Structure 1
Amino acid sequence: MRGRPLPAIMQSVSGCIRLLAIDLDGTLIGPGNRIDERDLAAVGRLCAAGVVVVPATARWYQAAMRPFERAGLPVRGAIAAGGADVRGPEGEQLALMPLPEAFVDFVAEIADELDWHATVATPEGALRRGPHPGPDIRLPPWLEVVPRFGSRRPAPAVSVLLELPADHPAVDTVRRWHGVSVLRARTSDGTVFLTCTAAGADKGTGLRALRERLGIARSETAAVGDSEVDLPMFAEAGLAIAVANADPEVLERADWVTAPGGAGGIAEAAERLREAGRLPG
């Protein structure tokens, strides 16, 4: 496995990983919205071994659950909406941090004016401004696609996803909003977008809230990711794992580097944990 030399805690094999947070797009899910069967099988084995596996994602809760539901995996907890909506192992809500209403108004108005693609997420679903995928595409009940936001303001809004390049001139304006955190994330095909949450809500605070509620130590926690939005949870995990296609700053902060997203990286990490005796049972 690639990456920096193993940290001392891994060399001594001192404890089991009991909580694993996995980024979805670009990490578990690769190009073409593809999930490697080896990774799904590894998640199933981890769950069976007693590891609490949760997606940590910019997606809202229902979208975060979809890959696991389709695979029949017993995953119900989540660090959703970029950390603003945290769910326990049975899907129960542990933390919720809504965005300032004024910011949601600003995004909706400027998206309509400048024709941005944007998504406003709530604990119950999402409203996306952009082209409809087509009359033959049946959308899930928790997603609505509209050509304009108009006066629509889903509430409570826990995150806003903006499909803008990182060097877009409007990005600085968005980042200057008081009370809002803006971090880069990637789609499964590598497109960069911005995830906007309330200040103080990120994947790191979400992971901390979850492990504290479960009574799991930082040293018993691992996180896997690929982009800037994942760095806060790296800081809250005893073991930080990056997929090979991760951003340079993520690779630099990782303890391990695995295969690319959607190409067996989760299975590779799970096998290494097993070989090191760091899985329960």
Structure 2
Amino acid sequence: MHALAVDIDGTLTRSDGSLDPRVIEPLRTWPAPVVVATGKSLPYPVGLCEFIGMPVRIIAENGGAVYLADDDVLEFTGDRDRAQRVVEQYTDAGHSLGWESVDFVNRWRETELAVNIDQPLEPLREIATSEGMRVFDTGYAYHVTAPDVDKGTGLRTVATRLDVKPSSFAVIGDSENDAAMFEAAGVSYAVANADDTATAAADHVTEASYADGLLEALDAIGE
């Protein structure tokens, strides 16, 4: 049975962004390791794993943070200082990160920073490029991250630490930040609501969207 790596937003959720409770039991009873791979900061996937009741195996911040309960090691890769310089130049140019005054989106980020998708993208990309950084558009936020960090590198790190091959993983996601993970894995599924980059990179595209698509993919993987 394939190990799993699954995205959160747009994949474990309903269209309104809330977790679909139907995904809980299939994930907690999957007979191989399950890794939650997300652009969110570390506390979110940790809390998700704990509340679902499965071992904490996570790739957070688009590959910038990796933790496995198996070896109890937390590993960071990225350049938050340069990400900070990017967002400072962005705000100095008159733009905003677009979050509330208490910014829970970035409060616990260690390796990158995120900007609300309601804000202008092109100025952010230009500044990021000038600083040697890049921007992921996940459909939920613009993530300013180092060019050598992505979910694919995160998955390879996880595979090494679990002493398995990346090709032993089946992965499910919906955004351009999942594409590198799709390419590293043995088999990949984009849910029907996925963006063009994820859809093009995936081996399969489900007929159903959001969590319904995830459940459809799990059925296919488990056959």
Tell me the TM-score normalised to structure 2 length: 0.86
**Residue 255 in structure 1 maps to residue 213 in structure 2:** no
SS at match of 1:170: helix
Percent identity, aligned pairs only, is 27
Q: Tell me how far 1:185 sits from its aligned partner.
A: 0.5
Separation (CA, whole Å) in 2 of partners of 1:224 and 1:217 = 17
**Do 2:37 and 2:151's aligned partners in 1 also have CA atoms closer than 8 Å?**
yes
Relative contact order (alpha carbons < 8 A, sep ≥ 6): 1 or 2 greater?
1
Total equivalences in the alignment: 221
Distance 1:265 1:68, change over 3 A: farther
Q: How does 1:230-241 map to 2 (within 5 A)?
A: 230-241=178-189
Distance 1:235 1:94, change over 3 A: farther
Distance 1:94 1:27, change over 3 A: same
Separation (CA, whole Å) in 2 of partners of 1:229 and 1:166 = 19
SS at match of 1:219: helix
Q: Tell me how far 1:41 sits from its aligned partner.
A: 1.6
Separation (CA, whole Å) in 2 of partners of 1:181 and 1:115 = 18
**Residue 211 in structure 1 maps to residue 159 in structure 2:** yes
Return the letter of the residue paired with 2:133: V
Return the letter of the residue paired with 1:231: A
Separation (CA, whole Å) in 1 of partners of 2:139 and 2:49 = 20
Separation (CA, whole Å) in 2 of partners of 1:102 and 1:238 = 33
**Do 1:84 and 1:206's aligned partners in 2 also have CA atoms closer than 8 Å?**
yes
Tell me the TM-score normalised to structure 1 length: 0.70
Distance 1:177 1:220, change over 3 A: same
* Residue 10 of structure 2: aligned partner: 26
**Do 2:86 and 2:124's aligned partners in 1 also have CA atoms closer than 8 Å?**
no
Return the letter of the residue paired with 2:58: A
SS at match of 2:138: strand
SS at match of 2:222: helix
Return the letter of the residue paired with 1:85: A
**Do 1:181 and 1:201's aligned partners in 2 also have CA atoms closer than 8 Å?**
no
**The one of 89, 103, 111 aligned to 1:145:** 103
Q: Tell me how far 1:232 sits from its aligned partner.
A: 0.7
Larger radius of gyration: 1
Q: Tell me how far 1:256 sits from its aligned partner.
A: 1.9
Separation (CA, whole Å) in 2 of partners of 1:253 and 1:168 = 23
Show CA shifts across 1:201-231 (max 9, x none).
1100000011011111233111111111111
* Residue 121 of structure 2: aligned partner: 168
**Residue 197 in structure 1 maps to residue 145 in structure 2:** yes
Q: Tell me how far 1:29 sits from its aligned partner.
A: 1.6
* Residue 131 of structure 1: aligned partner: 100
Separation (CA, whole Å) in 1 of partners of 2:165 and 2:35 = 16
**The one of 25, 28, 52 aligned to 1:44:** 28
Return the letter of the residue paired with 2:127: V
Distance 1:92 1:178, change over 3 A: farther
| RMSD, aligned CA | 2.7
* Residue 125 of structure 1: aligned partner: none
Gaps of 5+ in 2: none
Separation (CA, whole Å) in 2 of partners of 1:61 and 1:174 = 26
Q: Tell me how far 1:64 sits from its aligned partner.
A: 1.9
Q: Tell me how far 1:22 sits from its aligned partner.
A: 0.7
Gaps of 5+ in 1: 1-15, 119-129, 133-143, 188-192, 276-281
Would you tell me which structure has more helix in proportion to its own residues? 2
**Residue 185 in structure 1 maps to residue 129 in structure 2:** no
